Structure 1
Amino acid sequence: MDLVKFENALKIGETAAIEFKRAGGTVVGIPENAAPSMVKNFISAIGNPDLFSPTLYLEPEIFKYRKKTLIHIHVPSSGEVHSFKKRIYDRMDEADVKVSATAKIAQMYIRKQEIYTERRMYPYVKLKDLRLDLLPMVRILAKNNGGGSHLWEKLSNMDLLKSAGLYAEDHATGKNGFNLAAVMLLGRDEVIRDVSPAYQTDALVRKVNVDRYDDRLTVVTNLVESFEQLFKFATLHLPDKFYVEGAERKSLRNIVAREMLVNTLMHREYSSAYQAKFVIEQDRMYVENANRARFNGPITLRNLEPFPKNPLIANFFRNIGYSEKLGSGARKMFKYGRLYSGVDPEFIEDDVFRIIQPLNENYSFDAEIANGMGGQKSSQNGGQKSGQNESSELDSTEFILEQIARNPHITRRELSKSVGMAPSAVQKHIEKLKSSGRIARIGGDRGGHWEVYRK
């Protein structure tokens, strides 16, 4: 057991991924002479098919910490849904909840699948079943995104699809064909309906008529055109606030809407019948979609571990410039979402994935900077709850640390613009990082630089 990691776990306390026996994080220890028999009994229990099915293989580790005997058990993610005494449980926050509903159990099996469902082969789908008329536009987008040149420019239609991984060989069966990713990205509408009957994205505006909707768009076409339709819907119903970064004016509305929509299209679990949504309300907008969750709970800059749910679709989107490298979308959302509304967005990982972006038409980052209040959160700034302030402060500090690590010569004024805070607020986080020994300033404000110390 790595004692540094163990001490860090003690500082963090119990989470959805770490549990102490006893609870609370206090190290009690066990009798040293009892440890071997406890490990033996544990191994016998998890290997008993009458208790666990499928049976488990775990390796408890006995170690010493401050003269106390402890047992550490690492439980890796499994590709199976395990039952205990023929009952299935799911982890919800810090509790184990019994699952009996068929739909919920089915979602758990989807979540546990080791194979990506986007790779599912459809050998009877032919070239005529795809929207080949979209490929000229795809080539132009890829060329522009590639800085003026791209491999796809010179490839035939079939070679382009093979290059994108949309036509391949299933090594389990030996069959060649188009996969689900190909159908979802470029399929004709009738083919998509046949392959994924429940697929659609329901876009709603609920600002006045909150019981029904003020405007609605139902999108059931391929993902390339779905993004364009949903993005147009977003720009129609969201304010575009003035913001300048460096010498360039940037559309905060476009950045935030784009990242939310790309995420819900790129990382959705398309084998699920759950209907995806994009909803704009008076004080927030959100997307939600079926998901193959890696864990349950909020995603922050501190625990962000990018994982591609549909790597073929994600790679296609990156090639045509709809998205950037894995994980950059969440980081951009935390940065520009705060600039757009004054409040951090929320990312919630579960069988239904959600991104919630607070909205506040009266908020202006430029006005806040002028008043010396950038980054200060109040009950008027999108309804931020006081109980979230501590978590938001931690995320802001981590975000500033990340910006300094990327550019050790960054100035406080540049940090202020980058993270969307007034210089005084940035300085508060810098002092916190300096006092904790995570950064140090080498040299003066002019010509000096930051050094980052990773713990």
Structure 2
Amino acid sequence: MIEPDQILQETVKLEFKKAKNSLPDDIWPTYSAFANTMGGTIILGVEEKPKNKFSITGVENPAKIVDDFWNTVTSAEKVSCNILSDSNVIVYDIRGKTVIIIEVPEADYGQKPILVKTQNRKQMTAYKRLGTADKIATPEQIVYMYANNKTDMDSTVIDGYDIDDLNLSDIRDYKAEVLNITKQDRYREISDEEFLKEIGAFKRKRPFKDYGLTIGGLLFFGKYQSIRDYYPAFQLDYFKKDTNLNPDWQDRISSGDMSYPEMNVYSFYNLALKKMTDNITEAFVLDENARRKPYRSDLTVAIRESLVNMLMHAYYGADVPLKIIETPDYIEFYNPGDMRISREEFIIGGTSKQRNSTVSVLFRKVGIAEKAGSGGPRIFDIVNQYSLKMPDITSTDIDTTIRIWKTNFLSTLENLEEKEQQVIEYIVATGKISKGEALGELQLTEYAYTKAIKSLLSQEIISKRGNNKSTHYVLKTNTEASTFSDQKFLKELEDMLRKKAKR
């Protein structure tokens, strides 16, 4: 809610409209832009003044304006889809002035694009939010929203493509993997084309009986130029750098290069995974039973899951490449295409909305990927086991980035002073620290403790909880770490209750 003395400023997710006596027509581009981007709030009853200043002026007859809004947003002639319910529209009083607050969520991918008709544009038009402006969606954005509103993007049979468009050596390497897993000798006998039908790379063109190559089959096994004929901007890149700020790379895999003339999704997976995992050094880490943990193989699993997640959920029709950047501290996986589920659902697991089901099935058939919705929890469990920094997840309405850290959390704080290091190590071990614990357990002086706390707060490494005698400090974690911590606590609580119930 807005307060009377609050300094008002529009943002990428906040828009003001005057709406003194009637519903403004320019509310509809904003509704469309918020729904097609990342959601936002429209507040009616705020007027823009000179020098980009805003003041609360209120609306007259709010009941009529709200009725007009609902009549229009539910009209198929004016708005392609209503994504709001009663709870999204609130009439709010601020010192005798009435404003109307409209919360517009981001539309589900199956509802986009949200189109609207205004007095200035008689045809239905889609908008996107850019900064504080509502911009008409570009042709590329329109294509992406229509393509992305399908549940499955890669199972369609495409005309004009056949087995000659595929890399036979990749198909035979894959067949050898299937044979190794299943131990079924019949895979030695069947033709490449029959094998491709069986694994779903070729499908029947129903209601007819003939088969054709699917988009997923082309992406997974295709020759580079054949894939580019269908997706002109298709590009897969891996860069190894000494730092992300350095434009020069130390090692590289790039589709279309002379070294990789026929690279597809399958061959890129094999090459990139080998590059990222060959030089992982085995760490000496013990479990609770004093047995050495398999650090190298576990970290390989986390990297593999991140790589597969990128390849299974990418939007391959984009004009930007899928890209991996590896540095000494982290590996960053970038793919065009939104995540389709929330960060919380990714971390907790059990929910999957696949963009490329054929590619996903092909990975699962050779044990590269497991059940849908299991990758996120596996990544976070491994990171937690070895006290690595929690992964960073950034998902917009058009792309997704997951950064996997290779560094231990405490190793990132090596430049701290001795007392600060003691405080952090105590928090990592116990979850929090108070003045009593610092003075008693760590035997710090009050001066040393206060100085360390002030420094750690200024560096935004810790945050304060509670007041007076209950004051304590915890690590300032990212959203992903907080979500994982909450889920871990609930799982431990559930296990404890189950044990009690069995007694």
Q: TM-score, normalised by structure 2?
A: 0.60
Q: Which residue of 2 aligns with 1:301?
A: 347
Residues of 1 paired with 2:227 and 2:105: CA distance?
42
- Within 5 Å, give how 1:299-338 maps onto structure 2: 301=347, 305-338=351-384
Indicate if the aligned counterparts of 1:276 and 1:290 stay in contact, CA closer than 8 A.
yes
Matched, 1:227 2:269: yes
Residues of 1 paired with 2:127 and 2:349: CA distance?
24
Q: TM-score, normalised by structure 1?
A: 0.65
Q: Which residue of 2 aligns with 1:442?
A: 500
Closer, same or farther: CA 72–211 of 1 in aligned 2, 3 Å: closer
Which segment drifts farther, 327-336 or 240-249? 240-249
Secondary structure at the residue paired with 1:198?
Answer: coil
- Shift of the alpha carbon at 1:125? 1.9
Tell me the matched-pair count: 375
Identity within the alignment, %: 17
Closer, same or farther: CA 349–150 of 1 in aligned 2, 3 Å: farther
Which amino acid letter does the alignment assign opposite residue 500 of structure 2? I
- Within 5 Å, give how 1:24-423 maps onto structure 2: 41-48=68-75, 51-52=78-79, 55-56=80-81, 60=85, 77=108, 78-84=110-116, 85=118, 88-90=126-128, 98-100=134-136, 102=138, 105-106=141-142, 108-110=144-146, 112-114=148-150, 116-145=152-181, 148=183, 156-171=191-206, 176-207=211-242, 210-220=246-256, 221-236=263-278, 238-243=280-285, 249-251=294-296, 252-294=298-340, 301=347, 305-340=351-386, 342-350=388-396, 351-360=398-407, 373=428, 386=462, 389=477, 391=479, 392-402=481-491, 408=495
Closer, same or farther: CA 361–38 of 1 in aligned 2, 3 Å: closer
Closer, same or farther: CA 349–175 of 1 in aligned 2, 3 Å: farther
Secondary structure at the residue paired with 2:390?
Answer: coil
Q: Give CA deviations for 1:340-380 in whole Å, capped at 9, x if unaligned.
A: 5622112222211110122326868xxx9xx8845969999
Indicate if the aligned counterparts of 1:61 and 1:73 stay in contact, CA closer than 8 A.
no
Q: Give CA deviations for 1:125-157 in whole Å, capped at 9, x if unaligned.
A: 2223323333443234235545x5599677543
Larger radius of gyration: 2
Which amino acid letter does the alignment assign opposite residue 213 of structure 1? W
- Shift of the alpha carbon at 1:312? 0.9
Which amino acid letter does the alignment assign opposite residue 482 of structure 2? E
Which amino acid letter does the alignment assign opposite residue 266 of structure 1? M
Q: Give CA deviations for 1:251-295 in whole Å, capped at 9, x if unaligned.
A: 233122211211122221111121111101243320101115536
Secondary structure at the residue paired with 2:302?
Answer: helix
Name stretches of at least 5 consecutive residues in structure 2 with no aligned partner.
Answer: 1-13, 15-37, 45-61, 88-101, 257-262, 412-420, 433-452, 464-475
Indicate if the aligned counterparts of 1:285 and 1:356 stay in contact, CA closer than 8 A.
yes
Q: Give CA deviations for 1:84-128 in whole Å, capped at 9, x if unaligned.
A: 335634479xx9862346266246425643263313433322223
Secondary structure at the residue paired with 1:122?
Answer: coil
Indicate if the aligned counterparts of 1:111 and 1:294 stay in contact, CA closer than 8 A.
no
Secondary structure at the residue paired with 2:393?
Answer: strand
Name stretches of at least 5 consecutive residues in structure 1 with no aligned partner.
Answer: 1-13, 23-33, 63-70, 410-438, 449-455
Closer, same or farther: CA 263–300 of 1 in aligned 2, 3 Å: closer
Indicate if the aligned counterparts of 1:260 and 1:355 stay in contact, CA closer than 8 A.
yes
Which amino acid letter does the alignment assign opposite residue 264 of structure 2? N
